[in-house]
């Protein structure tokens, strides 16, 4: 697998886990659907933009020029930088949900407190 495939895999997993875990349990299906739709639309738009860059630059620089490839590469670099800036600005971590062990412990503490109250 190439390096870009690994990067895409890690990015996809990170984003999907982040999105799914940041919404309430009853909205997980909706969040997953929106994420999937946004991924498909974004991919379609990127393919259209990259193809347009290739075609338009190729019209002015016939083969064997690599100008169209370089132009598409710089577009992808700029897109990556813009996405990184957007994540840095708009990503707001949510409050940590209690782990199951903590929930069980707090439930046991409530049971103990209730038992103490009932004994008095």
pLDDT, one tens digit per residue, over 67-88 is 778 888 888 888 888 877 877 7
Give the pLDDT confidence of 18-65 residue by residue, as tens digits: 888 888 888 889 988 998 898 899 889 988 988 888 888 888 877 777
Domain that holds residue 62: 3-119
* pLDDT in the model for residue 1: 46
Cα 96 from chain centroid?
A: 18
Model pTM?
A: 0.56
Report how far residue 58's alpha carbon sits from residue 67's, in angstroms, rounded to the nearest whole number.
8
* pLDDT in the model for residue 41: 92
Domain count, the chain: 1
């Amino acid at each position: 697998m190439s390096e870009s495939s690994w990067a895409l895999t890690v990015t996809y997993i990170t984003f999907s886990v982040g999105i799914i875990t940041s919404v309430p349990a009853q909205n997980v299906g909706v969040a997953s659907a929106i994420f999937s739709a946004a991924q498909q639309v974004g991919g379609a738009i990127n393919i259209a933009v990259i193809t347009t860059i290739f075609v338009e630059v190729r019209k002015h620089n016939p083969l064997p020029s690599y100008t169209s490839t370089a132009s598409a590469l710089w577009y992808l670099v700029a897109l990556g930088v813009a996405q990184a800036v957007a994540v840095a600005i708009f990503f707001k971590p949510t409050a940590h949900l209690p782990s199951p062990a903590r929930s069980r412990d707090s439930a046991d503490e409530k049971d103990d407190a209730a038992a103490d109250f009932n004994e008095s």
